[in-house]
Structure 1
Amino acid sequence: MPDIRHDAPSGRFSTTVDGELAYLDTRLDGHHLVITHTWVPEVIGGRGIAGGLVRAAFEHARATGLKVRPACSYAAAWIERHPEFSDLLG
């Protein structure tokens, strides 16, 4: 998995693969991390990059004591496949 960076002021988790930027946007709502959008360019799709971004956001939430609201459809589908993170839903 490529290196994923978290820019806390913007709420963005991002990575660059083969020169293409992929990202996941979040916002804070009280003690909730709301995942609002996940974007992976088609040219680098199918490599698990979006899943890696969502996992990074959930791991960040766990480490910082936040609950997660997956408002984007990809993150909502991801959490259904990863029940080990379901305790973070709020």
Structure 2
Amino acid sequence: MYCQFSTNEDKESKKLIHLDMNYEDLTVVNNVQAHNFELTVNGKKSFIDYKQKGNKVYLIHTEVPKEQEGQGIAAALVAKTFQYIEENGLKIVPLCTYVAHYLKRHPEWNKIVTA
């Protein structure tokens, strides 16, 4: 299983939006029943779909509402999910291409990656 993320042609305007947004005060929610880590921004839910086996969390798919793409929400969601996973003594298996891409830009999180 994998996920895909898209880029928009209008990257410059999206960078400006990203610089103005602050997601530090938002909390990621582990929706165990839906197997989602969720982050709600302006009433719209973004999520990472996952499966868990023991202490391994398989991150399968990241999704942000179309109208909120390019605002840094996916990156905030992944970072907050990684913090949750680390705080709970879990490890990740990154199956989602966006999560794998995030890990390349943030190798400090490789400490929670397992096979």
Please indicate the TM-score interval, normalised by the length of the shorter structure.
0.7 to 0.9
Q: Which runs of 5+ in 1 are unaligned?
A: none
Amino acid at match of 1:79: L
- 1:51 matches 2:66: no
Shift of 1:57: 1.7
Show the counterpart of 2:43: 19
- Say which structure is richer in strand: 1
Percent identical pairs in the alignment equals: 31
Structure of higher RCO (CA pairs closer than 8 Å, 6+ residues apart)? 2
- The alignment covers a number of residue pairs equal to 90
Amino acid at match of 2:100: A
User: How do 1:4-83 residues align onto structure 2 when only pairs under 5 Å count?
Assistant: 4-83=28-107
Range with greater deviation from structure 2 (5-14 or 70-79): 5-14
Q: Which runs of 5+ in 2 are unaligned?
A: 1-22
CA RMSD, Structure 1 to Structure 2 (Å):
1.5
- TM (normalized to structure 2)? 0.70
Q: Which has the larger Rg?
A: 2
Amino acid at match of 1:89: V
Q: Distance in 2 between matches of 1:19 and 1:58?
A: 22
Q: Distance in 2 between matches of 1:51 and 1:72?
A: 13
Q: Distance in 1 between matches of 2:33 and 2:39?
A: 16
